[in-house]
Structure 1
């Protein structure tokens, strides 16, 4: 019998080990995960992508049907607007085929309004057993045309009542609540997030709806709401957002009164025809975040202090709780910002978006006496739209040389071309006198991706509803 040498035997073992490693690499390790983990992965995917996982292998075929379902529909420009029956069939087929729970069901304005789907379609879908323990619901019946603004809007679907014990996030749009004190009999004992867009309320019905949400933490008011005055008293609300729109004055919100909100941390005023609104804050001792404020912003009455647009009108009371402020300044003005720092002496984060060259912002002589007494507590400054001109340099240099607690300054450049040259950046560091900075820990950064970075005044609902971070403008 032939003998195999030790060297050959070792080579043979090494080749077998290499083949085993290659086979292991070819294995589908994701498919070997437990069903529960795969279900969580599929639940995070958009509806279409989640359904497509069924074709990966037989191992995946049952995962989508049993995983928590998120139905988020949006309009497809390639889809014929008149094919309403097809849309209804597809949604109904998903609801009938899916065996697992449905976590989120979102039917935006595009489907119910632009496609002309009947209101009864939504009510029928919500009756599906697949939605029995629904946690998030969003629908918008659509904005009526100008000639039909005076016509009554349909009420919320009657089937919404069956989710009262499970819903945690709701967005109502294009419907009416006109049943007086009982607000259509709705009750949401575990609801955290509420958005109201282009709805019709009486003052009593809105008060009743808020009372029916005993643990509500965030409220977003968008568009018209059917009456001019809203008064809010809530022991649980932590965040309020306002975004108005054009339309008849008798349907627009004109005065929002925050009467008693002991837990309120955010007041966000998105500039979209909000200029004619007055927001009065009577009691909100924990107010932490304010803005974005601009020329289109509401008139703010913070106790006895009045802010109109992007400037102070009357400063009779300082607010020590506000630590995050967002501004949208057409012409960058150091005078305006210093006024805000006097009003909010414990301000730590400042976000500014500017669009123009700015004021002169000469400060050495003007604020010579003030600098020694003004306690600048800012730790982070973001200036979007920075041009590097004399006005903007003077503005930024004030904080470089006087903000002793500053940790980060980010200057987002107002350019639509490739990144500036190293020579330009070096010149900016010299002009800003960074060698003489007041804070040793300050980090100065320039960002050139202008189109992606301007986030101070862009409307994002998650800024109102996502309370996982104290700062909605990172």
Structure 2
């Protein structure tokens, strides 16, 4: 991988700069592959089906009438809107009846349809593909189609050498009323500036931005609320942005219902959501943040924090929750990473539960715990006591190089009764179980205390799955005459290699999926 042509993502300038600084550009390439792999899990499906085919079955008709062309114009436009742009544009040559249909149909365009194999993951676009892609995208967005644009997804181009084309695209998108926009730059360079014309796209209802440097907005902060009056779904992935930029764009979205933030690693990043009265779902993933505050979000239902990382100084990430009476799903809280604050109380080990430190609305809770690190595991009872009405508990056992003492059953018993375990948890999953003493004692405590637990699924880490008596060992944790003796316990080997568990933004945003944690996947890092 030493030659530039063998790099998929890292450009020649970046590779040379890395070498001058004593870095191996191959490591940078691998890191970028992981970033891109995860970024694409956050993207929505393409706006038209690549499998769609415009055809009519031959039907015997003495008159030779074209029945498909005889359909009403509204139905023809609906048919064309479901085709990839390349096929949709070709319908103009079918007959005089079809000639204006594509131009009169709100555009649904994805550059992924121009790269065979991209959607099924069998091929990645290269820098050599970009000039041809740029030419086609420019022709469609700027020249051929008058608008409006129902959905435009652009995620295959390396835009570093094409800033003028990019500026024309974004201006055309704003001028022609784009509603659903996915705009991802394939790195490097990582400091590619997003054109400021994006702030003129007032028709947007959904916006996904990935791998851009956020521009300084052309308007004063006080007028920001008028910029995106219709935007309901916003995802920011691996963006180079400061706190003032994040505050600005959040203030510019008064109708925002769904927010996703992924891969933000700027030092000192603070996410503060205050007074977002329409916000229903927040997802923050793989980001280094100083603090995350969700305050006064009266209809917020889902709050996901996955792959949360500490700042470089090793300080805790402050997670504050206040006035979220409708919050039903929360996780993964990490006692070793997060300093949980409910209302104005920091939840440390030994903090006594009170009405002011509880979030009684939460029904599904996810926790990521390093059971082998004593100080982390000791926070677990206090965290659990904050959510007295949890019905489904998801535990992720995380591995750590630091091992500072195991906790026995006596510790959990002395921590006192945990209301949710005793009287409300009906289902539990325990992932990456490694047979550690603290894990075993915690499970034993749960099985001895749980009065309504009906189903437990224990997914065993691959490194421990070879133990022949594993199942029998864990079964001894369930007392024969205890309250959970009728609980159905399923033991299984992890179906994927151990690694960080990631959520899928689309599952999280889909309110028809009752428990998005049940569909988590493990990111297999190369």
> 1:232 and 2:232 equivalent?
no
| 8 Å contact kept, 2:160–2:189 | no
Residue 339 of structure 1, aligned match among 382, 405, 409: 382
> 1:171 and 2:209 equivalent?
yes
| 8 Å contact kept, 1:183–1:206 | no
| 8 Å contact kept, 1:323–1:348 | yes
- Matching residue of 1:7: none
Q: Secondary structure at the residue paired with 1:273? A: coil
Residue 267 of structure 1, aligned match among 303, 307, 326: 303
Q: Secondary structure at the residue paired with 1:214? A: coil
- Matching residue of 1:471: 515
Aligned counterparts of 2:482 and 2:107: Cα–Cα separation in 1? 53
CA separation of 1:429 and 1:401: change in aligned 2, threshold 3 A: same
| 8 Å contact kept, 1:99–1:130 | no
| 8 Å contact kept, 1:292–1:328 | yes
Alignment of 1:85-100 (within 5 A): 85-92=131-138, 95=141
Aligned counterparts of 2:476 and 2:328: Cα–Cα separation in 1? 34
Aligned counterparts of 1:38 and 1:77: Cα–Cα separation in 2? 33
- Matching residue of 1:69: 108
Aligned counterparts of 1:390 and 1:159: Cα–Cα separation in 2? 54
> 1:438 and 2:479 equivalent?
no
| 8 Å contact kept, 1:229–1:254 | yes
Moved more, 121-130 or 62-71: 62-71
- Matching residue of 1:111: 157
- Matching residue of 2:169: 125
How far residue 384 of structure 1 moved from its aligned partner, in angstroms, is 0.7
Q: Secondary structure at the residue paired with 1:263? A: coil
Alignment of 1:376-387 (within 5 A): 376-387=423-434
CA separation of 1:284 and 1:54: change in aligned 2, threshold 3 A: same
Aligned counterparts of 1:181 and 1:129: Cα–Cα separation in 2? 23
| 8 Å contact kept, 1:244–1:274 | no
Residue 447 of structure 2, aligned match among 378, 397, 400: 400
CA separation of 1:449 and 1:271: change in aligned 2, threshold 3 A: closer
| 8 Å contact kept, 2:170–2:195 | no
Aligned counterparts of 2:415 and 2:268: Cα–Cα separation in 1? 49
**TM-score, normalising length from structure 2?**
0.63
- Matching residue of 1:288: 328
Aligned counterparts of 1:397 and 1:43: Cα–Cα separation in 2? 57
CA separation of 1:278 and 1:368: change in aligned 2, threshold 3 A: closer
Aligned counterparts of 1:271 and 1:69: Cα–Cα separation in 2? 33
Q: Map Cα deviations across residues 89-134 of structure 1 (whole Å, 9 max, x no partner).
A: 23345556779975432334x634xx52423323323455899453
- Matching residue of 1:258: 294
Q: Map Cα deviations across residues 403-426 of structure 1 (whole Å, 9 max, x no partner).
A: 122122111121169x879x7476
Q: Map Cα deviations across residues 52-75 of structure 1 (whole Å, 9 max, x no partner).
A: 9989xx99x999996963515488
Aligned counterparts of 2:82 and 2:428: Cα–Cα separation in 1? 34
| 8 Å contact kept, 2:363–2:390 | yes
Q: Map Cα deviations across residues 357-413 of structure 1 (whole Å, 9 max, x no partner).
A: 997553269628945977341122111112356654443333333212212211112
How far residue 284 of structure 1 moved from its aligned partner, in angstroms, is 2.3
How far residue 236 of structure 1 moved from its aligned partner, in angstroms, is 1.1
**TM-score, normalising length from structure 1?**
0.69
- Structure of higher CA gyration radius: 1
CA separation of 1:227 and 1:41: change in aligned 2, threshold 3 A: farther
Aligned counterparts of 2:423 and 2:358: Cα–Cα separation in 1? 15
Structure 1 unmatched ranges of 5 or more: 1-27, 247-252
Q: Map Cα deviations across residues 251-307 of structure 1 (whole Å, 9 max, x no partner).
A: xx5344433222223332233434543233343233332221236634232123324
Aligned counterparts of 2:243 and 2:308: Cα–Cα separation in 1? 23
CA separation of 1:388 and 1:257: change in aligned 2, threshold 3 A: closer
- Matching residue of 1:21: none
Structure 2 unmatched ranges of 5 or more: 1-52, 58-66, 519-526
- Matching residue of 1:462: 506
